[in-house]
Amino acid sequence: MVKKEFKIKNRQGIHMRPANEFASAMGEFTCEVTVVCGDNEINGKSLMNMIAAGIRGGSTVEVVCDGEDEEKALEKAGELINSGFGEI
């Protein structure tokens, strides 16, 4: 299992478009992807769960990947979040 903390950089947080981008990218990996935000454990492969969690810009999340391709998945997750999903 690997994990890392990230800060959500785009101001509007995880709304429809970023959530879709993140969930579809994570869907490519076989490992489990969990996004921890406060007390909330979110399935990183679920568009709905990502949106329903209402992750705001500026908040800190921890991405936890567990499974065969966990390293690659965490790397991709970081890339997406740090790019601000093209919104910064």
Partner 1 sequence: MKKYSGVPVSAGIGMGKAFVYKENAYKDPGKSDNGENEQSRYRAAAETFGKECILNAGKIKESAGEDAAKILFSHASVVSDPYSVSNAEKLIGGGMSPEEAAKKVWGDWKAALLDSPDPLTKERAADADDILKGILTALSGQSEEDIPDGCVLVCREFTPSLAAKSEKNAAVVAEKGSSTSHGAILAAGMGIPCVMGVDIGGIEDGDEIICDGNTGEVVISPGDGERKKYEELKNEYEKSREDVKKYAFMTAESGNGHKISVMCNAGNPADIERCISSGGDGVGLFRTEFLFSEREYPPDEDEQYSVYRDAASALCGRELVIRTLDTGGDKKIPYYSYPREDNPFLGLRGIRYCIKKPEILRIQIRAILRAALFGDVRIMLPMVTAEDEIIKVRNLVAGCRRELRREGVKVPENVPVGIMIETPAAALTAKELSRHCDFFSIGTNDLTQYIMAADRGNAEVRELYDTMSPAVLRAVEMTFTAAKEAGIPCHVCGEAAADEELLSFLTELGVDAVSVSPARIAQTKKVLFLKP
List residues near partner 1 by CB under 8 A.
Answer: 11-13, 15-17, 43, 45-49, 51-52, 54, 56
80 is catalytic: no
Spatial separation of the C-alpha atoms in residues 33 and 44, rounded to whole Å = 5
Bridge partners, residue 37, by sequence: 40
Spatial separation of the C-alpha atoms in residues 5 and 14, rounded to whole Å = 16
- Of 78 and 84, CB closest to partner 1: 84
Q: What is the closest distance, in whole angstroms, from the C-beta atom of residue 31 to partner 1 in the complex? A: 15
Query: Which of 15, 36, 41, 47 is labelled catalytic?
Result: 15
- Of 12 and 30, CB closest to partner 1: 12
Q: What is the closest distance, in whole angstroms, from the C-beta atom of residue 46 to partner 1 in the complex? A: 4
For the annotated catalytic residues, the residue numbers are 15
